[in-house]
Structure 1
Amino acid sequence: MIFENSAYYDREQFFKLEKPYGTFYFGEKYILSEMHEGVHFDWPMVKDLLNDIEAYYENETKLAYISNRIHSYSRDPHNWQKLSALNFIVASAIVIYNDMAYLNATLEKRFSKESIKRCQCLNEAIEWVLDLKEFN
């Protein structure tokens, strides 16, 4: 399910950021991504996105990251280690829609120091993030 079609989209205000490689929604407690089909989300793209995150949030905010994998794309699992060093993402959720996405998420989970939850639907991912102890 596309985030804008979900009930959560209207519950709070989100800043929608469209990049050549995907669409990102910046909320109070989480950032949600929907990457474009066939993209290889490499470190220069991650750094580009991080610049936008820092400009938007301005202070030391703790956030969760939700990857809504509605399209097939690739990423370097080692990027999770680089992101861990930045220390602003408290946990991540990956919404998977097929077996290949599940296998990729399992691999990425091995590279991350933070908690990564594999979710079967967008609602599950958002509810899990909103229930994190860091936000309650």
Structure 2
Amino acid sequence: MFPIHYYDLDFTQVFVFDTFIISQIREGFVLQPQHNEQLRDIIRKHFATKRLVYIANRIHAYNVSPMTYMETSKIENLVGMCIVTTKGASQETAHFESTFYKKKFHITHSLLDAMVWSEAVVDAAGVTDI
């Protein structure tokens, strides 16, 4: 499975697949709600009529404002979020962050598991066209 599109933004690398997006936020970055606008632009461009899942591949240390999750929850066709991390502290942080996200949320140590989970969540959401 190869990405359909790739974006190298100032704060993240984004890999767009058929039913999910993988984002790799840059080291030391503080993700704020206003960064959602670039995510929304990518979703509008590639998922205008389809459901998707957002996968955060946490290969770098960075911070996320909890308000970012509340805003991300408002993206209608985004049906879930998955955090991929192998670090215990990052897993604990992800558990805390999950309380601010109002849709399906999964934490795993494997990018492959995240992809499989994402496909299942999109399938469970029903018809992919919205």
8 A Cα contact 2:31 2:68, kept in partner: no
Match of 1:134 in 2: 125
Deviation at 1:38, TM superposition (A): 0.5
8 A Cα contact 2:40 2:75, kept in partner: no
One-letter identity of the residue aligned with 1:134: A
| Inter-partner Cα distance in structure 1 for 2:39 and 2:71 | 14
Q: Please give the TM-score of this superposition, normalised by the length of structure 1.
A: 0.83
| Inter-partner Cα distance in structure 1 for 2:126 and 2:85 | 24
8 A Cα contact 2:82 2:108, kept in partner: yes
Match of 1:51 in 2: 41
- Cα deviation digits, residues 20-76 of structure 1 (max 9, x gap): 11100111100110111001111222212322331333x232111100000001111
RMSD: 1.7
Change (3 A) 1:135 1:16: farther
Gaps of 5+ in 2: none
> Percent identity over the alignment?
21
Q: Please give the TM-score of this superposition, normalised by the length of structure 2.
A: 0.87
1:66 aligns with 2:55: yes
| Inter-partner Cα distance in structure 1 for 2:67 and 2:10 | 22
Aligned length: 125
Per residue, is there more helix in 1 or in 2?
A: 1
- The SS at the match of 1:125 is helix
Q: What are the equivalent positions in structure 2 for 1:31-46 lying under 5 Å apart? A: 31-46=21-36
Change (3 A) 1:129 1:56: closer
